[in-house]
Amino acid sequence: MPSPLCRATIHHFRHALPNPIATTMGPMTHRPALLLRLEDAEGAHGWGEIWCNFPPDGDYHRARLANRILPAALAGMSAETPDVFAQILLRLHRLIIQSGEPGPVAQIASGVDIALHDLRARRAGISLSEMLGGTVPAVPAYASGISPDKAPEQIERMRTMGYRQFKQRIGFGPDDGIGVAEETGQSLQDGETLMLDANQAWDLDTALRQSKRLANLDLIWLEEPLPADAPDADWQTLARAASMPLAGGENLTGNAFERAITLGALQVIQPDICKWGGLSQTMKVARAAIASGRRYCPHFLGGGVGLAASAHLLAAVGGDGTLEVDSSENPFIPVFSGGGLALEHGMFPISTGPGLGFDPCVEALKESLTARVEITL
């Protein structure tokens, strides 16, 4: 008989940034991280991560919400419980409607889903990627989070760690940051490539104009040039006009992924396992994207547990996708991901130990620990 879960521990971290990071949603003054540790009655454990980047101080709300809803959400569950993400949303369906909080609840459910997959793989004594069907020891990766005002130094730092693909943020500041992006493109070395992320900043007319201007940069992709909920016709119009592939998915949920894949405007599908779906649902999206001829490239912006889980999933589903590794100031990723961020022969290595292959060293960043809450289930 499967061993039921008996304990959940929420670790809430928050790191103040001496130099806030500019985004299209406003300045990011802190880097938050919510790590979730689940333990069963036999002492086996697994780790997950709950997305909590926005809005500012939204990490406090998600930490408190998790504390309140996890007992009901996890009652009777074990590492063998199927479709954990979907089950939690079903159990909390009325609460989601009444509170109008589908996003935060889905993000907590995603963290649970990841942690239970990790727990199951640890109990089996195999790596998470192996449990999911993977056989490759490493995946391609690119450096993201390149700021327009810090591009040269960020790119050089990541270049020394083996990165040759870089994603720069645009869509804000003078000229939408396009001039700086052009400078970045011209500064790249042989064999290096560039993606740009507009973070939903433009309407259709602006996106058409700016994508035309960017045509000479030979971009790998242009990410979220329109709001995720822009009309299908707008996405199709832009896809027909743009010379570069369009990417998106971090702000899609549920059936919107099937619709996006069917519509065909997005050539690169980017779900975030900590924001919606966990491993169980994101794997379905990834396989559907690959089967339709799209690229599955996991989105990730958070602490290291979600990064490691994304790498395991990418290794399992195959395809020609590449892993997103945040290059902006974030003390959590190298400490909570089981190792450094340096690539080996241009690839991000996948841990071969049981589960994720590591336990995040939460004691290493005690100065950033805002709260640690243990819940008896």
CATH code assigned to 5-125+359-376 = 3.30.390.10
* pLDDT bracket for residue 45 (50, 70, 90): very high
Could you tell me if 337 and 129 are in contact, meaning their C-beta atoms sit under 8 angstroms apart?
Answer: no
pLDDT tens-digit profile of 289-319?
999 999 999 999 999 999 999 999 999 999 9
Residue 102 clears pLDDT 80, i.e. is over it? yes
Pairing of strands 138-146, 323-326: parallel
pLDDT at 26: 86
Cis peptide before 55 (omega within 30 of 0): yes
pLDDT at 353: 96
- Domain residue spans in the chain? 5-125+359-376, 129-349
129-349 CATH, one of 3.40.190.10, 3.20.20.120, 3.30.2320.80, 3.30.565.10: 3.20.20.120
Pairing of strands 5-21, 28-40: antiparallel
Q: Strand ranges (DSSP E) for 104-226?
A: 138-146, 165-169, 193-197, 222-223
Average pLDDT rounded to a whole number, residues 39-66: 97
pLDDT tens-digit profile of 155-205?
999 999 999 999 999 998 778 899 999 999 999 999 999 999 999 999 999
- What DSSP string runs through 33-79? EEEEEEEETTS-EEEEEE---SSTTHHHHHHHHHHHHHHHHHTT-BT
Residue 24 clears pLDDT 90, i.e. is over it? no
pLDDT at 173: 75
What average pLDDT is seen over the chain?
96
Average pLDDT rounded to a whole number, residues 99-105: 97
The residues that bridge with 175 in the sheet, in sequence order, are none
